[in-house]
Structure 1
Amino acid sequence: MRSTGSAPGEDDRPLLLQLEQRLNKLIETLYPDERTRPGYARLAKEIRETTGGSISATYLWELATGRKRNLTLEQLDILAQFFGVPPEYFLNDKVSERVNAQLMLATALRDTKIRSLALRAEGLSPASLDALLTMVDEARKLQNLSVMNDPNPPRSGSND
């Protein structure tokens, strides 16, 4: 049964909204700079050249804007192959969350200062690493940034 205040299909079919959001997340992650982000025609060409599969520029735009949501398994597989994610990324919340955590890490590691900080922390004791994490959290608060939760918290009894 549909809720009365929403457009048909929006509230009762969240998977359709997630497809649009997840596709856009992948595009933004692969092309973080909006100024150099390809248009849908160039993206469709890159997908064709990389995977051998074909998705039109118009269809990509329709998927990314939520105008079309009827993705075939073949198209799902082509998108997953191009973006380097499992096809389940588009359909499964747990897989999507895991992949998004990996994407966040990969995006952060593009920054040479973040990479340098991570490499310099290698070999420090767990207590020293905890102190560094506390300092980073405090620096984020000072700059009015949200404190980030560790997507992979250590298991109890673990020292990693």
Structure 2
Amino acid sequence: MTPTTPAPGSEAKSRFNAALEEAKAGAAALKTEAGQKAGAYREQAKGKGEDWIAEAKSYGADAKVKGKELAVEGKVKASEGIRSLGQVVSENAHVVDEKLGAKYGDYARTASRTLSETADKLDQKSVDELGEDAREMVRKSPAAAVGIAAFVGFMLSRLFRGSR
């Protein structure tokens, strides 16, 4: 028997095919490893996202509580301010009587009583009730609401501009 001699280039083909198979196996291993790492990163990102969502909800809840506290404090200060204004008007009604007449003094006393009653009503309502009243007023007359908002904004801008 005569030994068969390999065909020219067959050894190179066989090495090339072996290298190709090895490259395919390496690519498959890299793909599997990349999939595992991507899954781990995805889980890590999901955990971070859930942590951030929980943290944002916590900040939101804290802001809501603080906002409610500030609204209650603002309501109390507004009530005190209205009551003080009513008292000033009442205390000066006699001056109005002397300068402009009893009729205008009575107007001042009526305004004083109205301011005092408004302060009492404000004290009796909760912040939620006041908010609902404001929403209802806006629904009934949006033009008046815009006008009031513009006036309040103007007054606040004048107040803060003057305090510099």
Larger radius of gyration: 2
TM (normalized to structure 2)? 0.26
TM (normalized to structure 1)? 0.26
More helix by share: 2
